[in-house]
A = this chain, B = another copy of it.
Amino acid sequence: MINIGLLGLGTVGLGIVEILDKRKDELKAILGSELRIKKILVKNNSKKRSIDIEREMIATDFEDILEDEDISIIIEVTSDLENSYEYIKKALNAGKHVVTANKAIVSKYFEELSSLAREKNLAFLYEASVGGGIPILKPLREQTAINEITKVQGILNGTCNYILTRMFEEGMEYEDTLKMAKELGYAEVDPTADVEGYDTLRKLRILGTIALRGKISEEDMILDGISSITAFDMEQIKNMNSTVKLIGEVNMEDDKFTAVVQPTIINKDSYFSKVNMAYNSIVLIGDNVGELRFYGAGAGALPTADAVLRDVIDVVNNSYGKINPLGKREVQNNNSMIKDKYYLRISEIEEGDIEKLQKITDKILTTAENFTVITKKVFLKDILDLIKSLGLRKDKYFLGRILN
């Protein structure tokens, strides 16, 4: 019998309980011993739940779980940041393995928690933190032993991808689409972390740090979200025979990397243009393996729970973490050298500002209410500086990188 302490009983927590229940016999046959959730930490003990949980399993104090010597594995699936960081640290210090789906924690404390786990000879695993049900972090870690990874690129946020897909397909405005996404459960009540790109940023920080075997931090990345896109922009993008996706991308050459999360305009025939709705996809390039693509459900109770449980199985089978995710490579930020063509729309532009845009402009698309240009191939930093110098509010412009 392997006893688990589950922190959090939200969507993913319920998914874990469900799968462990329905796969009970198979898991016992495959693992040779039963996987049991012994205690569940919840904030609110009186909350109505969709499943029956035995009363003695519920804990409202983490210490009850920490002190339970039967429990060897902690699964952390809260949406909490600071408390859970403390829980994970305490769990590892108390000799318990930790599996988490919490990308915010993994991104923020990757080096600290990974080191602590290795020091204690314990597992700290987080497959579910990137790409939902897609097996990506383990395959990536395995590839880093045999390859120089030169690119990691992905559609990493289901909420943004859902909104952009519906806007593309139905010509709807951003605000209406977001509202619909909330109603259907594809977006949170406060969607900031998703639509402003922070969630993608965290996932890219994890992917990038593993891929390059050197630390990339959140601050190393250029970030832009999708919240200022309009139906007008989507129409222009369609006219370019293209669509737009929020893509996170790390590139590496000679120990120099670039790392950007940005709306990216891609041809309608390109691979990423077919990744729609709440699906995610990650593309890797290694010097030996070549290009690999992974695709699957980027979120959802069961796919995410599936990823968590794959980690748990690795813990039980003692087949985790032999490849240290912390590489020692010194990598240099080369974002100032990023050069591309961009689509830029400015609403309510002033006459003088049009002049300032002239030297970066290749083609003017529209000049009326929305002033829209395709730029020449320019440095991203120059165009960001220019936008800053124009004093534009975020909701008054939209910038998208044009990927051939």
Contact = CB atoms under 8 A, between A and B. Distances in A.
Nearest to A302: B288
Interface string A114-136: 00000000000000000001110
A144 B313 CA distance: 12
A290 B30 contact: no
Given A135-B143, A289-B302, 8 more contacts: A15-B288, A19-B146, A27-B146, A31-B145, A146-B306, A146-B309, A291-B296, A318-B318
A290 B271 contact: no
A286 interface: yes
Given A313-B142, A319-B319, A320-B319, A290 B300 contact: yes
Contact of A274 (B31, B145, B274, B289): B274
Contact of A322 (B27, B289, B307, B317): B317
20 contacts: A23-B146, A29-B328, A31-B145, A133-B292, A134-B292, A142-B313, A143-B310, A146-B306, A147-B306, A288-B303, A288-B305, A290-B296, A290-B297, A292-B295, A293-B295, A293-B296, A295-B295, A318-B322, A319-B320, A319-B322
Nearest to A147: B306
Number of copies: 2
B291 A27 contact: no
Interface string A270-300: 0100100000010000101111111111001
Interface in A148-192: none
Interface of A: 15, 19, 23, 26-27, 29-31, 133-135, 139, 142-147, 271, 274, 281, 286, 288-297, 300, 302-303, 305-307, 309-310, 313-314, 317-320, 322-324, 328
A306 B294 contact: no
B320 A306 contact: no
A290 B278 CA distance: 12
Nearest to A18: B288
Contact of A303 (B23, B135, B289, B310): B289
A296 to B, nearest CB: 4
A135 B292 contact: yes
A135 B139 contact: yes
Contact of A313 (B29, B145, B309): B145
Contact of A290 (B133, B293, B309, B313): B133
A47 to B, nearest CB: 25
B293 A289 contact: no
Nearest to A329: B26
A291 B147 CA distance: 27
Contacts of A289: 133, 296-297, 302-303, 306-307
